[in-house]
Structure 1
Amino acid sequence: MNNQTLLAFIIIISLIFTSACGQKELSIEPKKLDWKQRVIKVNEDSSLLSGSSYLSVYSAVYLHSESDFKELSSTVSIRNINKQDTIYINKIEYFNTQGQLVKSFLENSIYIAPMETVEIVIELSDTEGGTGANFVFDWSIKPDSNEPLFEAVMISAVGNKGFGFVTHGKKIN
């Protein structure tokens, strides 16, 4: 049996198996984030606590040498891990490897509802950040609330092998 015949056989068997088990294909529509719909006025004189967090991301990684690198796509997650309290993100800045500001994502503070996640996607074709790209987030929370959680998932593929890794945010002064 040649490779094409084997591939066709595997596809047919998986379709039959899926139909027999009554499973439906999972369909998730990507949701484009409208920052303007999340704008909120954060009163600076309030009792909110403020902080900043750092998150490393990679637009590319070196494979075998400095001249051999692979582009990555990144999904940056901003998570409100509070069950009751809203959190506020006041600034999101994206810097490249040289420390230069690439993009500022917010003109005004935004809210993130309890247990909600807001995502930023850095596409595979966007290599402006480079191998040492990073984000800095300024945020505000109620005094007894949990700080926001910042994570990035970077993925890519080389040939028929995919790879991915995760980074976690760190509170900074």
Structure 2
Amino acid sequence: MKKIIVLVLVLCGFYSCKEVSSNEEYEKINWKARITTINPTDSLESGKSYLSVYSQIYSYTQHKTYNLTAMISIRNTSEKDSIYLSNIKYYDTHGVLLKTYFENPVYVLPMETLDIVINEIDIAGGTGGNFIFDWQIPKDCSEPIFEGIMTSTSGQQGLSFLTEGKRID
């Protein structure tokens, strides 16, 4: 009888676990709710930043890879001004565009941080994925900061590292 009860509990445990498939995507940010209009008469300065991200890294040899979760952090460092993102594009290792996040400009409030999460099971970006951010800021406003935080845990081992965005225009 005890064996049957244990077996039922184990089976219930297996069926209660739900793994997100690689085709499912959880969108943490509602980009449509952030759409804004930028007035052409506003004196905004434009910039473009590049951020490297890693969905995978090599382990032991170039033939063995290790999957990572990537969190892309978009930070408005101004205490008083909103900033604007006109485009965010995600590319894979080979430069193939994987995703454009929105079509119209969006705002980021003062001191606000937005996060984009690339799930560990989503390995489309590969070992050399990257993001391009097009942004606008008011005159005399500090530039936004773009960071990539890659993490993974397996058993009792953990791995994490950070990449920093670089202004390219």
1:58 and 1:31, CA in 2 relative to 1: closer, same or farther beyond 3 A? closer
Per the alignment, residue 142 of structure 2 pairs with 146
Unaligned runs of 5+ in 1: 1-29
Q: How many residues align?
A: 144
Per the alignment, residue 52 of structure 1 pairs with 48
Give the letter aligned to residue 84 of structure 1.
Answer: K
Aligned residue runs from structure 1 range 75-114, under 5 A: 75-114=71-110
Residue 158 of structure 1: how far off its partner (Å): 3.8
Give the letter aligned to residue 62 of structure 2.
Answer: E
Give the letter aligned to residue 97 of structure 2.
Answer: L
User: TM-score normalized by structure 2?
Assistant: 0.82
Separation of aligned partners in 2, 1:31 and 1:109: 18
Residue 135 of structure 1, aligned match among 125, 128, 131: 131
Residue 67 of structure 1: how far off its partner (Å): 1.2
Separation of aligned partners in 2, 1:33 and 1:132: 24
Aligned residue runs from structure 1 range 1-12, under 5 A: none
Quick check: 1:169 aligned with 2:169? Answer: no
Unaligned runs of 5+ in 2: 1-25
Once the two structures are aligned, what percentage of the paired residues are identical? 46
Per the alignment, residue 17 of structure 2 pairs with none
Q: Give per-residue Cα distances to partners, 1:10-36, cap 9 Å, x unaligned.
A: xxxxxxxxxxxxxxxxxxxx9931111
Give the letter aligned to residue 91 of structure 1.
Answer: N
Per the alignment, residue 6 of structure 1 pairs with none
Give the letter aligned to residue 169 of structure 1.
Answer: G
Q: Give per-residue Cα distances to partners, 1:116-147, cap 9 Å, x unaligned.
A: 00110000011000000000000000110001
Give the letter aligned to residue 143 of structure 1.
Answer: K
